[in-house]
Amino acid sequence: MPALTDEYVAKRKADDIVWDKVANEMNIIEFTKFIAEAKRIEVSDAIIAKQMLCVKGKPESVTVYIQRPLSGTPLIIQGLYPVANDSDENISVTERDMRKILDRDHITGLYWNDFCMLSSNTKNKIIDQDVIATWVDDDDEIVEDYYRRLAIELDAVDPGTVPCVFIAGKTCQASLEKAIKLGLVTRLQELSPLGVTVCEIKDKRFVALEGRPHPSWHLMTGNAPSARAVFKETMDMLNGMIRCCVTGNITPDTMTHSLMAALAIDPAELQRRAEGRSFLTKLLYGDPSGRFPAKHVHLRNVKAHLHEVKTFLLKWQARGMKVLIAILNSGDLYLDLPAYADELEYWFTKLGKNNFKTFMCDGVAAKLYDREFKAGLEYWFTKLGKANFKTFMCDGVAAKLCDPEFKAELEYWFIKLGRSKNFTTFMCNSVAAKLCHLEFKAELEY
Mean pLDDT of 176-192: 95
Do the domain assignments include residue 10? no
Task: Look up the domain containing 328 and give its range.
Answer: 266-356
134 and 241, same domain (yes or no): yes
Which of 312, 330, 356 is the endpoint of a domain? 356
Share of the chain above pLDDT 70, in %: 87
pLDDT of residue 409: 84
150 and 297, same domain (yes or no): no
Do the domain assignments include residue 414? yes
323 and 232, same domain (yes or no): no
392, pLDDT greater than 50: yes
98 and 235, same domain (yes or no): yes
Q: Which of 42-46, 85-89, 190-194, 278-282 has the lowest mean pLDDT?
A: 85-89
pLDDT of residue 146: 97
285 and 425, same domain (yes or no): no
Do the domain assignments include residue 386? yes
d(CA 23, CA 12): 9
131 and 215, same domain (yes or no): yes
77, pLDDT greater than 90: yes
pLDDT of residue 314: 97
pLDDT band at residue 38, thresholds of 50, 70 and 90? very low
Query: Is 143 or 404 the better-scoring residue by pLDDT?
Result: 143
Share of the chain above pLDDT 90, in %: 49
Query: Is 350 or 37 the better-scoring residue by pLDDT?
Result: 350
- Contact of 81 with 114, CB cutoff 8 Å: yes
13, pLDDT greater than 80: no
Q: Note the Cα 29 to chain centre separation in Å.
A: 35
Nearest to 5 by CA among 21, 20, 27: 27
Query: Is 57 or 178 the better-scoring residue by pLDDT?
Result: 178
Mean pLDDT of 201-218: 89
Mean pLDDT of 201-209: 94
260 and 144, same domain (yes or no): yes
Phi, psi of 7, rounded to the nearest 5 degrees? -60, -25
pLDDT band at residue 89, thresholds of 50, 70 and 90? low
10, pLDDT greater than 70: no
Nearest to 173 by CA among 207, 206, 213, 218: 213
- Contact of 122 with 172, CB cutoff 8 Å: no
75 and 172, same domain (yes or no): yes
282 and 244, same domain (yes or no): no
Do the domain assignments include residue 432? yes
Q: Is 393 exposed, middle or buried (0-12, 13-18, 19+ CB in 10 A)?
A: buried
Mean pLDDT of 412-429: 78
Do the domain assignments include residue 362? no
Do the domain assignments include residue 2? no
124 and 46, same domain (yes or no): yes
Q: How many domains does the chain have?
A: 3
Which of 322, 356, 390 is the endpoint of a domain? 356
d(CA 255, CA 237): 10
The overall average pLDDT reported for the chain is: 84
Mean pLDDT of 149-165: 95
66 and 179, same domain (yes or no): yes
393 and 324, same domain (yes or no): no
Which of 324, 356, 388 is the endpoint of a domain? 356
pLDDT band at residue 23, thresholds of 50, 70 and 90? very low
Do the domain assignments include residue 81? yes
Do the domain assignments include residue 107? yes
Mean pLDDT of 264-292: 93
d(CA 400, CA 415): 19
CA distances from 242 to 6, 207, 398 (A): 16, 9, 37
